[in-house]
Amino acid sequence: MKDIAKKGLGTRSIHGGQMKPNAFGALATPIFQTSTFTFGTAEQARRCFALEEAGYVYSRAGNPTLTVAEEKIALLEQGEAALATSSGMGAISSVLWTFLSAGDHVISDKTLYGCTFELLNHHMKRFGVEVSFVDSADPEAVKNALRPETRIIYLESPANPNLKVVDLAEIARLGHENGNTLTVVDNTFATPYAQTPLTLGCDIVVHSATKYINGHGDLLAGFVVGKKELVDQVRVIGLKDMTGAVLPPMEAYLIIRGLKTFEIRMERICATAMKVAEYLSRHPKVDVVHYPGLPSHPGYAIAKKQMRSFGPMMGFELKGGLEAGKKLLDSVELCALAVSLGDAETLIQHPASMTHATYTPEERKAADIAEGLIRLSVGLENAEDIIADLEQALSKV
Ligand SMILES: Cc1ncc(COP(=O)(O)O)c(C=O)c1O
């Protein structure tokens, strides 16, 4: 489609990257359930392997169904190219393995999804990569931690699970000023509906597409987005040769299907999230609500500047602390007690004992992850029903 990049988000997510024409004129994207691709001649095979001719050779290096999903995500994130992976961790590890070598240095925010923290905090050391954990909401802390060998600044904004907001344009600027430093942002919580870090100067966006991008809680997937030159390197090195974290074609099809409703899902969910955050912030048993859309949130001004919407995720703490939080989790009926996020169903969980149990209590304290913090992933149910469920559960606390 002509000028697809200039169309609205809904149009891009439906029409972007579609094969033209699809086999037999099929409207829906065909699922190319194949591991390998045949060549007409030995010379054509040679040319494809030598990258002298475009074409698919083997599904670990590319597959037409995945290409459609990749082009859609690139269009949504306003990046030159995207790469699909079999999970969010597949995307994150493929990026890190591509760009890091022994002797390199990484600056990471202290507050991260638990498995990303585990990867950066424990496993990187084994390969000779040093990681400094800082509070990147304070750009001075990032500036002071930069070294000539800093290859990556890694962060989430809003961060999992406490919704910390980071000034992405400022951090990317510091990285570029340092020279060869890439700013990598996990945009899972915001989604490209609410925020596009590449347009703020960041170099690479990673996603757990398991979440709101797919939106239906029925698969695991990830994406890497950025300049074509960088994404190509991740495809060839991190994905093809190192992790092999390839997305199956059926999963790519389901993402393409889920994306058809991406904009309307996110419109509804973000509006509901605002209502739920406001409700919780007024409740006498709630101590604090972590939602970037509330003026009381420390990152509100930056969120307003860099986000188009305040997003679907929030955290909150009860005055009764951890025990009250557990009671609440045991009492919800509509909200599902489960990790993950971004499903049609509202999901509620306790980071300290679930998603962020990979942190020690001291590490959680340093990362401002309160022991009693509850994380809420707002779903597609009606706002009044989610609020009524929280109300009845809070009445039992
Ligand atoms: C912010 C964030 N990034 C990455 C991941 C990892 O994604 P996946 O479970 O698809 O590997 C998660 C999972 O919860 C997450 O919340």
Catalytic residue among 72, 113, 203, 364: 113
| Contact indicator for 215, 261 with CB cutoff of 8 Å | yes
Neighbour-count burial of 6, counting CB atoms closer than 10 A to its CB (0-12 exposed, 13-18 middle, 19+ buried):
exposed
Same domain, 215 and 316: no
Q: Which backbone phi and psi does 390 adopt, to 5 degrees?
A: -65, -40
188 lines ligand 1 (CB under 6 A): yes
Tokens 């919580």 -> residue: 189
The residue whose CB lies within 8 Å of the most ligand 1 atoms, and thus the one to mutate among 92, 210, 347, 369, is: 210
87 lines ligand 1 (CB under 6 A): yes
Residue 274 identity: M
Element holding 208 (H helix, E strand): strand 204-208
Neighbour-count burial of 4, counting CB atoms closer than 10 A to its CB (0-12 exposed, 13-18 middle, 19+ buried):
middle
Domain boundary among 259, 282, 311: 259
Domain boundary among 215, 238, 259: 259
CATH code, domain carrying 13: 3.40.640.10
Compute the distance between CA of residue 133 and CA of residue 101 in angstroms, rounded to an integer.
Answer: 18
Same domain, 218 and 305: no
Question: What's the 3-state SS for 42-85?
Answer: HHHHHHHHCCCCCCCCECCCCCHHHHHHHHHHHHHHCCCEEEEE
From atom 16 of ligand 1, which residue's Cα is the shortest distance away? 113
Compute the distance between CA of residue 29 and CA of residue 255 in angstroms, rounded to an integer.
Answer: 11
Compute the distance between CA of residue 209 and CA of residue 4 in angstroms, rounded to an integer.
Answer: 22
Task: Supply the pTM of this predicted model.
Answer: 0.98
Same domain, 274 and 227: no
Q: Tell whether 1 is covered by a domain.
A: no
Q: Residue 259's closest CA among 51, 54, 17, 81? A: 17
385 is a catalytic site residue: no
Same domain, 42 and 175: yes
What is the C-alpha radius of gyration for the chain, rounded to an integer number of angstroms?
A: 21
> What share of residues in the chain are helix, strand, coil (percent, to 5)?
45, 15, 40
Question: What's the 3-state SS for 335-353?
Answer: CEECCCCCCCCCEEECCCC
Q: Is the Cα dihedral 222, 224, 228, 234 positive or negative? A: negative
Same domain, 164 and 271: no
**SS3 at position 156:** strand
Same domain, 164 and 241: yes
Distance 89 CA to ligand 1 centre (A): 6
Intervals of the chain under pLDDT 70:
none
User: Looking at residue 369, what is its pLDDT?
Assistant: 96
Same domain, 204 and 102: yes
Q: Is the Cα dihedral 278, 283, 286, 287 positive or negative? A: positive
**SS3 at position 86:** coil
Compute the distance between CA of residue 347 and CA of residue 374 in angstroms, rounded to an integer.
Answer: 11
Compute the distance between CA of residue 225 and CA of residue 92 in angstroms, rounded to an integer.
Answer: 11
Residue 352 identity: A
Same domain, 123 and 26: yes
Q: Tell whether 3 is covered by a domain.
A: no
Same domain, 303 and 287: yes
Q: pLDDT tens digits, residue range 25-47?
A: 999 999 999 999 999 999 999 99
Q: pLDDT tens digits, residue range 309-354?
A: 999 999 999 999 999 999 999 999 999 999 999 999 999 999 999 9
Crossing angle of the two packed helices 64-77 and 249-259, in degrees rounded to 10: 40
Catalytic residue among 104, 109, 186, 389: 186
Same domain, 222 and 330: no
**SS3 at position 2:** coil
**SS3 at position 325:** helix
121 lines ligand 1 (CB under 6 A): no
